[in-house]
């Protein structure tokens, strides 16, 4: 059990370290494709680390209370670290989406203004394309907000899973306490049954002794009662 827990914790540390490294790469790199790849890799590492923490929570429920407390404390620290990594991932994703939308909008506007300055008859077309560009930017913003909401829901789901794991741990402790109480009651019943059997045995022995004493008394007293009385002078 301890070996498997250590393996889980080592695996978690590896995934969390990878996620932190990918997030740092996404923050430092200037190439947009590299940032997206780093963010995607960080997301996969965070998901893997979250699964390992869930396994740790399940294993913790089967541990004795003395060993469960320090592991539960470490699991809470792991959950807090995952929350921070998820927040950094959301910030990196939002920043990249905002930058991409701004670059795309600037490029479209620049091309449209260039076309409009060279051809006066194309102003209407340019205005329509600008309107389409604005709608595209608005759609991009909505997609970014939806993505952020999805990440928030994922984080809340992870928190709910953590709460369920803690509730399961509480139920396991309660079950263990009830099991110990049931064993104590069974032991008490066995002791009472043994005491009852001993009391019955002692009562039977006392009755036997009383019967033997009574028979001996009658055996001694009977000849004395039948013997003739001596003559009176």
pTM for this structure?
0.48
User: Which domains are assigned to the chain?
Assistant: 2-180 (1.20.58)
Give the mean pLDDT of 143-162.
74
Task: Report residue 120 as tokens.
Answer: 């006066």
- Which own/partner pairs from 102-111 qualify as long-range (CB within 8 Å, at least 24 positions apart)? 104/133, 104/136, 104/137, 104/140, 105/133, 105/134, 105/136, 105/137, 108/133, 108/136, 109/133
Q: Is-contact 45 89, C-beta < 8 A?
A: no
Q: Quick one: pLDDT at residue 127?
A: 64
Q: Quote the DSSP letter at residue 63.
A: S
The number of residues in the chain equals 233
Give 84's Cβ-side CA count (13 Å radius). 9
Q: Quick one: pLDDT at residue 107?
A: 56
pLDDT in tens, 162-187: 777 777 777 777 777 777 778 888 88
Residue 114 has pLDDT above 80, yes or no: no
Q: Is-contact 5 72, C-beta < 8 A?
A: no
Binned at pLDDT 50, 70 and 90, residue 124 comes out as: low
Q: Quick one: pLDDT at residue 17?
A: 92
* Alpha-carbon distance values, 123 to 109, 134, 206 (Å): 12, 16, 123
Q: Is-contact 32 99, C-beta < 8 A?
A: yes
Which tops the pLDDT comparison, 33 or 123?
A: 33
Q: Quick one: pLDDT at residue 225?
A: 59
């Amino acid at each position: 059990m301890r070996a498997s827990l250590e393996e889980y914790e080592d695996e978690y540390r590896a995934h969390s370290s990878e996620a932190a490294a990918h997030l740092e790469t996404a923050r430092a790199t200037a190439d947009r494709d590299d940032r997206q790849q780093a963010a995607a890799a960080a997301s996969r590492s965070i998901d893997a680390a979250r699964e390992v923490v869930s396994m740790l929570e399940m294993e913790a429920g089967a541990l004795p209370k003395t060993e469960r407390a320090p592991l539960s404390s470490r699991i809470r620290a792991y959950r807090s670290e995952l929350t921070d990594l998820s927040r950094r991932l959301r910030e990196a994703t939002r920043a990249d989406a905002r930058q991409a939308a701004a670059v795309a909008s600037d490029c479209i506007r620049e091309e449209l203004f260039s076309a409009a300055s060279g051809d006066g008859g194309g102003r209407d077309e340019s205005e329509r394309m600008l309107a389409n560009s604005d709608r595209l930017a608005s759609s991009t913003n909505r997609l970014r907000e939806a993505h952020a909401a999805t990440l928030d829901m994922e984080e809340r789901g992870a928190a709910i899973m953590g709460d369920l794991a803690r509730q399961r741990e509480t139920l396991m402790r309660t079950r263990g306490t009830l099991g110990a109480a049931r064993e104590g009651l069974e032991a008490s019943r066995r002791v009472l049954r043994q005491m009852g059997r001993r009391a019955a045995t002692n009562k039977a022995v006392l009755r036997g002794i009383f019967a033997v004493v009574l028979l001996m008394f009658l055996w001694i007293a009977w000849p004395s009662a039948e013997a003739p009385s001596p003559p009176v002078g």
